[in-house]
Amino acid sequence: METSKRLMEIYQRLYDFFGPRHWWPAKTPFEMMVGAVLTQAVAWRNVQTAIGNLEGAGLMDPYKIVRSSDAELEALVRPTRYYRMKSKKLRALAEFIVNNYQGDLQKMFHEEPARLRSKMLEVYGLGEETVDSILLYAGEIPVFVVDQYTKRIFSRLGMIPEKITYRKLQAFFMENLPADHRLYNEYHALIDALGNKVCHLTPRCPECPLGDFCRSFETEKSLRNRNEPKKQNPQKGNKPINTGTKKNNK
């Protein structure tokens, strides 16, 4: 099957299996950006708590974050672990928006995407996945976001090598899918749903909607069949054991 068609078949199966993911869960583009910074290495429920703290303190705004004290910001994002580092990252992002775009996200996202991406990668604490998530989910720019789930799933499907760089993995999708931010949005969210719920380090292959595409599924099925105890059939021609008791023929 042609790569682009296979990718769309995978997308449709995941969509039919999980339904729309409604990702990213945020009320504003800036809240989405805050979430992208805070979600690193922590459960989403902790991020939601920190976002609620920031909203309650009136700090869901780049200018107000820039003006806040270190102690105040650290206390508000404390539920997200590594809170001192994350407060620095959040402040660096807010300063980037204020200093370069006067706090105007619309102006920021109208910049040429490759140039904006390059500039954002220079901001303290912003890696490729975080920057691309911001471009896609906050800026609605068609940039495909990839992560460890993407690498694990598509290497098991035999479509990419296990050791592949972020940029090459991203290019694999962007060269074989239409440049549609809505498709990229949903596809990334569906991949993460599969990785989070089914395709673990030890995969739950019988539950996977992509089983017939997957080498790991076939390997797991083969091992399962090999380990199942064989049913013993009664031997043909066996005669009843003679107990020496005569039947009464009356």
Contact 198, 42 (CB under 8 A): no
- Determine the pLDDT at residue 243: 39
- Determine the pLDDT at residue 248: 41
| Beta-carbon contacts of residue 101 (< 8 Å; ≥ 6 apart) | 107, 108
- Determine the pLDDT at residue 96: 98
- Determine the pLDDT at residue 240: 43
The identity of residue 199, as a single letter, is C
- Determine the pLDDT at residue 2: 94
CA angle 13, 137, 10 (to 5 degrees): 15
Contact 81, 44 (CB under 8 A): no
Q: Which residue has the tokens 């906050």?
A: 138
239-248 long-range Cβ contacts below 8 angstroms, 24+ apart: none
- Determine the pLDDT at residue 220: 59
Q: How far is CA 33 from CA 91, 96, 195, 249, in A?
A: 12, 12, 23, 92
Where b means 16+ CB within 10 Å and e means fewer, 110-124 reads ebeeeebbeebeebe
CATH 3.40.50.620 fits 29-138, yes or no: no
Q: What is the DSSP letter of 70?
A: H
Q: What is the pTM of this model?
A: 0.86
- Determine the pLDDT at residue 213: 87
- Determine the pLDDT at residue 216: 73
Residues of the chain with pLDDT under 70: 1, 217-250
CA dist., res. 72 & res. 180, Å (int): 40
Q: What is the DSSP letter of 139?
A: T
